Amino acid sequence: MPDLEQLVATRVHRPDAIAAAAAARRRPASLFGGHGRMMIIAADHPARGALSAGADPLAMANRVDLLDRVCTALARPGVNGVLGTPDILEDLLLLGALEDKVVVGSMNRGGLAGTAFEIDDRFTAYDADSLAAAGFTGGKMLLRIDPDDAGTVSTLESCGQAVRDLAGHRLMAMVEPFIARRVDGRVRNELTAEAMIRATTVAAGLGTSSAYTWLKVPVVDEMDRVMAATTLPALILGGEVSADPDALYTRWSKALALPTVQGLVIGRSLLYPPSGDVAAAVDRAVSLL
């Protein structure tokens, strides 16, 4: 379990230790693990106020417990990266957990879950310059396209600028696109092939160059049709914790057979599995690669 007192003491008395740890960190030789794919642990949910996992609405509220779970996952063979916001990635830097890992910083966390402005997803975390300065691999952005919410257009513009800026640094731009609508006042993503095809084609066209753009997409029915809509490399996201893990792993496995799919970016499904065994859940996901 990470030492809370030591982390706090470092942040209070030696905040410059974070930059020093980033500068000294061993960088990965490749985007890919020994299995030839990417296996990324996602831990950027709390900064958007999304703390639930499964039936527990505050599962991710204990930071030391979350860090412990992420560190357990990152230590498993075949896991070669992590996705997070500055607060989490900097804790992991201080813990020495990012050596030789692909590190992707989460960029737009302003569309807080459950708010009236959720679709207007402002860039409130990393930008391209800070990611480059930290020596990280790239940046991830969430792009929810709501045809009925004018806030979508500012998010589209901001994502386009972020893709441009990341490409300028030759850093990966990981775009997570959805068609979304409000249902009973809450934003819901449309998880159909048609919706994902539309979202994917919009995301692929953002910025002044797509050379460094990757897509982060959910598994939906007719996934082959979705992935046929673009030549951009894609990573499969995990989504909510499933009550039927076997079915979920089967869907991931089928998606991984598609030529554009280069790996997995999984968060709560592996960090808070129904079994409670993070290591076993991660190892099973790695075995799909």
> For residues 147 and 136, is the Cβ–Cβ distance under 8 A?
no
Q: Quick check: 200 pLDDT over 90?
A: yes
How do residues 76-127 score in pLDDT, each as one tens digit? 999 999 999 999 999 999 999 999 999 999 999 999 999 999 999 999 999 9
Give the pLDDT confidence score for residue 135 in this predicted structure.
Answer: 98
Distance CA 139, CA 90 (A): 15
User: CA separation (Å) from 191 to 25, 148, 156, 287?
Assistant: 38, 17, 20, 26
Q: Quick check: 75 pLDDT over 90?
A: yes
Neighbouring CB atoms inside 10 A of 46's CB total 17
Q: Going by DSSP bridges, is the β-strand pair 172-183/186-189 parallel, antiparallel, or unpaired?
A: antiparallel
> For residues 5 and 202, is the Cβ–Cβ distance under 8 A?
no
Distance CA 246, CA 249 (A): 5
Q: Quick check: 218 pLDDT over 90?
A: yes
How do residues 8-40 score in pLDDT, each as one tens digit? 999 999 999 999 999 999 999 999 999 999 999
Question: What contacts 24+ positions apart, CB below 8 Å, involve 44-47?
Answer: 44/83, 44/84, 44/85, 44/88, 44/106, 44/109, 44/140, 44/267, 45/267, 45/268, 46/85, 46/88, 47/85, 47/87, 47/106, 47/109, 47/124, 47/125
At the topology level, CATH places domain 4-287 in TIM Barrel (3.20.20)
> For residues 166 and 138, is the Cβ–Cβ distance under 8 A?
yes
Give the pLDDT confidence score for residue 241 in this predicted structure.
Answer: 80
- Annotated domain spans of the chain: 4-287
> For residues 31 and 251, is the Cβ–Cβ distance under 8 A?
no
Q: What does the DSSP 8-state code read for residue 26?
A: P
- Residues in the chain, overall count: 289
Give the pLDDT confidence score for residue 173 in this predicted structure.
Answer: 98
Give the pLDDT confidence score for residue 230 in this predicted structure.
Answer: 97
